[in-house]
Structure 1
Amino acid sequence: SSGYQSCREAVAAYYNCPEAPLKAQDVILTSGCSQAIELALAVLANPGQNILVPRPGFSLYKTLALSMGIEVKLYNLLPEKAWEIDLEHLESLVDEKTACLIVNNPSNPCGSVFSKSHLQEILAVASRQCVPILADEIYGDMVFADCKYEPIATLSTNVPILSCGGLAKRWLVPGWRMGWILIHDRRDIFGNEIRDGLLRLSQRILGPCTIVQGALERILHRTPPEFYHNTLSILKSNADLCYAALSAIPGLQPVRPAGAMYLMVEIEMEHFPEFENDVEFTERLISEQSVFCLPATCFEYPNFFRVVITVPEEMILEACSRIQEFCEMHYQGAEGTQDLECDK
């Protein structure tokens, strides 16, 4: 089902603002944010159409789309610009079969947070091309003190948006399986077709957990502010520690995160010639140092790896120390690389 009326009202009240007004009928409750993304994709795109997906990006988008017969086109994010979207590349991918643009902000795996001006540029592309947006905002408000999170719907005047979110990340309860879709369509571009489609799709299974729905109003409106503050303080401290430690290691180039729970690190593969790619690098890191980092090939972005910054501080420091030991053991400077090539 789409969720109890009182619970949809609670979510609408929590996210409602003058720039992006919401009522209960604009909310569909789901079994976690993953189901929200699945329903949003299913209602926006038909088999044979295509969607625009960030690279690097959360792998679920591609998995779901391909299972529905939807083509995936990958647009580039730019690490040298704190993972902003390459807008020219994005717009070049749009064609008559493009059904929607996925925007993930804050980002998994990048830990990036788009500025207001960049979000406006993204909206300008979507407006010119008449492409709706599926906004994956599960990490909304999980940004560090020197950044500000802007829900993309608050900046849109004419681009219809389905915003997907949930309890899992900000409230740290992933197993509770409570997500939602917020329908932002002030100009009624979606019409009844999208709303009716979402309602029907949500009724295929029982959907959101009944017990968690009973607690949802209290969770949203009575969680003390210090809970959010403490969570972000730990994430920011861990991000700073991890960034500083990895920046000092020859052959690695971390990109400073601004929110979410992740940090991406470039591997200068020319200095690690015994490894063919990021997958082999991270596999050896596990076997030799018992440190697990996800190779960014998983996110369609080779020669990077992702670090999760949610673990205790002492574990972050120990992991970084082991990564340093691993890199020092395998690093080859320019001369070493040249010698290796001569040996071949």
Structure 2
Amino acid sequence: MMDFGEQTIIASNESKGIVNAVRDVFDGKKMETNPTKELLNLSIGDPTFFGNLPVHQVMKEAVKEAVDSDNFNGYGPAHGLLCARQTVAKHYTTPEAPLTDDDIIITCGCSGALDSCFTVLGEPGQNILVPVPVYPLDSCVAASRGLTIKCYQLSPDRQWEADVDKMDQLIDKDTVAIVVVNPSNPCGSVYSKQHLLDILAVAEKHSLPIIADEIYNDLVYKGQHSYPIATLSKNVPILSCGGIGKKYLVPGWRVGWILIHDRHDRFKKEVVPSLIKVSRKSLGITTLVQAALPKILDTVPKSYYENTMSLVEANANIAYGELSVVGGLTPVMPSGALYMMVGVELSKFPHINTTVEFMEKLMAEESVFILCGECFLSPGFIRLVLLMPSEKMKESCHRIREFSYRHYEV
């Protein structure tokens, strides 16, 4: 018998390749708070966190009905129950981008959808284009698959639009896809129709598919419109990732999907069968919430998520008004999603060297928890979540102002 002795068990290269930008910033840090002040958390994009955004009654009833039916306690098809896939297809089909149930893969949240897309489209050593500021999961999943990320910059001076010329220059023979996040986490931007057409032109030029992270589709401010990129595409194949977590305020229910917009059957032979094979790794997701999807998507009124966005927009106006008058801070007014990015001119804060330090000191002195731009590969920025009750939003911004005034020097 072998004696283990001092032998080390080796972990896989895939597991060691998992890198999460948020964890890179926080691991090993102990965030101190001011014990005399209530903690105000502007860091977490979980709409259930503050308790001010209740789940719609229809959704609760839909899940209860699925439980009481006793019809959904067993395994379902790994890529999703037929009733769920049919409902998602019906809900998201358009004349410009038609869908059937065969074009839908049900996944474990939108993050599961992105993971499946990266897994199927990329081989170790290849690369994928992602926007910066970046949603941390994109870089995390890419690294775990042995993919290199190439970052195309979003410009705060142009409402976080992509530099499409530089995007074009980043593409090489090993590039497998372009990731487009619209509306954006962390930026809160909503792209115009023309800007999406410009991105599609780059993808078409290089015969590249697009992975569209559209979890925040429809979560836009009054007067804004978000265009699903597939509705604008004539030739570029699109894998659109979404889910119910943000729009319907239930991220813990873990139901997402991939909408397969297969322009000219470019996905049909290999990508679609491989997406189904990848789904079989988990034997599918919870059948109960899948069974509730028809009632959720067909019955919950549009006013439900419009009310959420009224709160978010009001909080964005509060934050923009409060922080735009503060020297050294430059908030970028969003148009959708749940977030705002704020530029920090560190030269005006001589005793703060990075936005990581800005985050830590703000927490220690004012008990306001924001995320630093380093979490999104964008040092020099901080991100605010706009979901808390408006009175707490005002208090948070007041504390950020007081903190900034204290540390600001001309």
Shorter-chain TM-score range: over 0.9
Counterpart check, 1:146 vs 2:218: no
Runs ≥4 in structure 1, deviation > 6 angstroms?
none
Q: Which moved more, 1:230-239 or 1:106-115?
A: 230-239
Paired with 1:52 and 1:32, the residues of 2 have a C-alpha distance of 22
SS where residue 169 of structure 1 aligns? coil
Q: Distance in 2 between matches of 1:208 and 1:154?
A: 28
Q: Do 2:81 and 2:291's aligned partners in 1 also have CA atoms closer than 8 Å?
A: no
Q: Which residue of 1 aligns with 2:127?
A: 50
Work out the CA distance in 1 between the residues paired with 2:376 and 2:166. Answer: 18
TM-score scaled to structure 2, two decimals?
A: 0.81
Structure 1 residue 6 displacement after superposition: 1.2
- 5 Å-filtered alignment, 1:123-134, equals 123-134=200-211
Rounded to whole Å, the distance in 1 between the matches of 2:328 and 2:172 is 40
Residue 109 of structure 1 is matched in structure 2 by 186
Report which structure shows greater RCO (CA 8 Å, sep ≥6).
Answer: 2
C-alpha contact (below 8 Å) 2:324/2:331 kept by paired residues? yes
Please name the residue that 2:242 is paired with.
165
Q: What SS does the corresponding residue of 1:192 show, helix, strand or coil?
A: coil
Does 2:366 match 1:308? no
Looking at structure 2, the residues matched to 146 and 8 of structure 1 have their Cα atoms a distance apart, in angstroms, of 31
- Unaligned regions of 5+ residues in structure 1, if any? 334-344
Instruction: Tell me how far 1:88 sits from its aligned partner.
Output: 1.1
**Does residue 73 of structure 1 match 2:145?**
no
Contact 1:278-1:295 within 8 A present in 2 as well? yes
Cα distance in structure 1, aligned partners of 2:231 and 2:320: 32
Distance in 2, matches of 1:294 and 1:205, equals 32
Structure 2: 5+ residue stretches without partners? 1-77
1-side partners of 2:143 and 2:305: how far apart? 36
1:237 to 283, 302, 314: 314
Q: Which has the higher helix share?
A: 1
Aligned partner letter, 2:272 = R
Separation (CA, whole Å) in 2 of partners of 1:231 and 1:102: 27
Identity across aligned pairs (percent)? Answer: 49
Question: What's the TM-score once normalised by structure 1's chain length?
Answer: 0.96
Q: Does 1:223 align with 2:300?
A: yes
Q: How far apart in 2 are the matches of 1:259 and 1:208? A: 29
Q: After the TM superposition, which of the residue ranges 130-139 and 231-240 deviates more from structure 2?
A: 231-240
CA offset digits 1:89-147 (Å, max 9, x no partner): 11111000000000000000000000000000000000001111000000001011121
Q: Secondary structure at the match of 2:177?
A: strand
Kindly provide the CA deviation profile for residues 262-300 of structure 1, in whole angstroms up to 9, marking residues without a partner as x: 000000111001111100011100000000110011111
Question: Partner residue of 1:324?
Answer: 401
| Corresponding residue for residue 176 of structure 2 | 99
- Aligned pairs, how many? 333
1:6 maps onto 2:100 in alignment: no
1:173-198 CA distances to partner (integer Å, 9 max, x unpaired)?
A: 00000000000013111232000000
Question: 2:327 matched to 1:250?
Answer: yes
Deviates more, 1:43-52 or 1:182-191: 182-191
Q: Does 1:186 align with 2:228?
A: no
2: CA distance, partners of 1:228 / 1:205: 30
Residues 89 and 99, structure 2, Cα contact 8 Å, conserved in 1: yes
Q: Is the 8 A contact 1:65 1:72 kept in 2?
A: yes
Shift in Å, 1:312: 0.4
Q: Is the 8 A contact 1:19 1:154 kept in 2?
A: yes
For 2:367, the equivalent position in structure 1 comes to 290
Give the alignment's Cα RMSD to 1 decimal: 0.7
Question: For 1:276-331, what per-residue CA distance to the aligned partner results, in whole angstroms no more than 9, with x for missing partners?
Answer: 11000111000000001100111111010000000000110000000011001000
Residue 208 of structure 1 deviates from its aligned partner by: 2.1
Instruction: Tell me which amino acid in the other structure corresponds to 2:390.
Output: E
Contact 2:83 2:291 in 1 (8 A): no
Q: Match of 1:18, as an amino acid?
A: P
1:277 aligns with 2:354: yes
1:33 aligns to 2:117 (yes or no): no
Whether 1:210 aligns to 2:275 is no
Counterpart residue type for residue 253 of structure 1 = T
C-alpha distance in structure 2 between counterparts of 1:217 and 1:251, whole Å? 49
In structure 2, the residue matched to 1:337 is none
Which of residues 336, 355, 369 in structure 2 aligns to 1:259?
A: 336
Q: What CA distance in whole angstroms lies between the structure 1 residues aligned with 2:303 and 2:268?
A: 41
